[in-house]
Chain A
């Protein structure tokens, strides 16, 4: 830990302050470049806590994408590889195949995983690669300045859909998570979010399960995390979270879709293949 921070902490403790929150040791001291209020920071922390609690820091390899989380390797204090845009599932496939006892995870955004890397994602899932994929979906290309992503909602404005996404021009929002749940190679498929403490607790449990599953060697564990992109959406973080709940969640319902290799209870099979509950924004 940074010496200045450590010294200041000791001073505060002497003054009678109590430590109620600290960084996990699996995150480095590097200052994250994420916009305040974005879900990436929280998601990073959850993954780091899971790695710490499972005691696998010395036996895990992460793969970061191209997108906002391109520098994720600077924040996790574990061995990390930076993949070409969209290729993380292929990169991770080989890491896992050649190091079957190592915990392997990818960390990708919606442009990386659901646009340019669709083939790699689907085939890694279909082969049932025994690894964990974390998919942060904020409905937009954040890093390049807010262009349309495959996950952008119908009617949603972005730098490349300045008048709102139109189905006749741009097609439908791609629900990668539902799609992957239909493949026999996936063992655990879930969608979570991190906009409030209750959601964070559920998301952490899902990430923990997705990592624990690698011990079972039964296929891919896939966790989508819905996040706001307050910069890209041009809103305050609080407003962005509200907007996410009102607009993203009807299109991207929260909860487990597939658990232990079976479609989760209460999930209507039609939802996975045909019935897209499109919310068209005004």
Chain B
């Protein structure tokens, strides 16, 4: 198994930390992982993205331009990465702020209204975990117990009291992700 993922959105949406929690969970499940961020001034308020690879084998290049799954949280990222999804791959996006919907017919497209749901439930801080839950519903590449360990390793100990809330958010995400038919 090798899963090559891009997560992209605005700085501040928790893109990098979502990737880190996923990658750390992979480490705990004894997978090979890599986490390669975009870095530099563009991170400060602009777009942020991170490529995460989780694999059963030694990872060759951590730098990739074709993805099994793209997790997209804003319009710029959708414009940039829709074409980078491998044929037959998955594109997951949050419709919040999206004006031009994805158009490809050779990939599987899913919508997750995580921003709206998180606002509704007053859990905006763990919005990114709602999105992660949606992804894990489609691609259960790491087991629940390892996600818990991944959270423990990714969060400073003083925030461990928030782990249950994070896990709940993941479950909520699993429940609200829905397939989109491109006409």
Any A–B CB pair closer than 8 Å: no
Residues of A within 8 A of B (CB): none
Residues of B within 8 A of A (CB): none
